[in-house]
Structure 1
């Protein structure tokens, strides 16, 4: 929802990655930002209107991003999609950092820093990969922000570290960094940072892209 500069960049970026995309906006003129090569669906309306969502194919959607210019519209649309259509892969753009923290506590991932909006939303919507946060000069070692499947919620961070055979030096919880101890439990909404050799990045992504094995 939202076809401003961020929404249009996000839609084009996802389409280039091979995903089918539907874009909702109240202004049909906004769809011009998508360019003549855009192959997705465009729907006029607001993203918290069920008829509009249905027209955009929400029942077959794997994810939903609310990136309009209004905080209230974004969070309302995100909640309608999450609660009304049981879609967990939802993210909302929020301009007010204070509000973002509140909505994170309600279980809706938010992106509040405009500078990183497109990259952060893509990373949450397409969570099969990781994002390098730091690399050493040789390129052999990196710190990655990695997606963790919801099936790991409730597991201790040290268990995640053991499964990946890599250290997890810190996590981010509700916008604040913390160093996990031996009893820290991974919670829904936590962001995990893993230190690893560059060549092991794909292995770690694979470990956390699925629920843990029953014995873990």
Structure 2
């Protein structure tokens, strides 16, 4: 396939490298030439400095031959503009646009654009992990349960997730370490500086703060800082 990607942030760079490794022809567009440093060493496609909605830039990228156009910059409006140009002006059959805010997805769909929303994906992943594996015995997701974001201190460092979990009150689900995130199991070890995303009951917040000397910041799926 011939794929044109607008945006070379973490998502765009990873996607471009993966598609290139799979043998597809990939062209990456970004307004910041320095962003191409994120591309993997195995990437053998083309890079173009410019805006993904600029017609001259798109034509230089070979948009007329593209099977797929993907807009994954960090700006929703830029993604929707680029997607519209690719679909309406150049007739690209498959156009996918990244969306940061879930409430904008319906607007994109009305314009004939397919979307990927990181906020929704993370929320569903957490829900499916909790419900699918250990919902009945370990987590009760009633109205008192919240998502919490915790910065791991030296008190938590070296401990296994299973050792810090409090049944029916505190359930770590994801650990963010640097620029990567991982779904945890009971044997996952916590490191200093990790960000722990957990399901926590309202009654357990003070208990966790007291036990481990950490700040528990309750949040919503839209507020998660997962690198997606």
**TM (normalized to structure 2)?**
0.49
Superposition map of 1:86-165 within 5 A: 86-114=91-119, 116=121
Q: Distance in 1 between matches of 2:119 and 2:47?
A: 24
Deviation at residue 37 of structure 1 after TM alignment: 2.6
Q: Residue 141 of structure 1 aligns with which residue?
A: none
- Give the aligned length: 118
Superposition map of 1:1-216 within 5 A: 1-114=6-119, 116=121
Runs (4+) off by over 4 Å: 114-117
Structure 1 residues 89, 60: CA separation in 2 closer, same or farther (over 3 Å shift)? same
Deviation at residue 18 of structure 1 after TM alignment: 1.2
Secondary structure in 2 aligned to 1:32?
Answer: helix
**Higher relative strand content:** 2
Bigger Cα displacement from structure 2, 69-78 vs 95-104: 95-104
Deviations 1:8-55 (A, max 9, x none): 011011112210100000001100011333110100001000010011
Deviation at residue 113 of structure 1 after TM alignment: 2.4
Gaps of 5+ in 2: 1-5, 123-131, 133-228
Deviation at residue 80 of structure 1 after TM alignment: 0.1
Deviations 1:95-141 (A, max 9, x none): 11111121112211111124749xxxxxxxxxxxxxxxx9xxxxxxx
Gaps of 5+ in 1: 118-133, 135-216
Q: Residue 179 of structure 2 aligns with which residue?
A: none
**TM (normalized to structure 1)?**
0.52
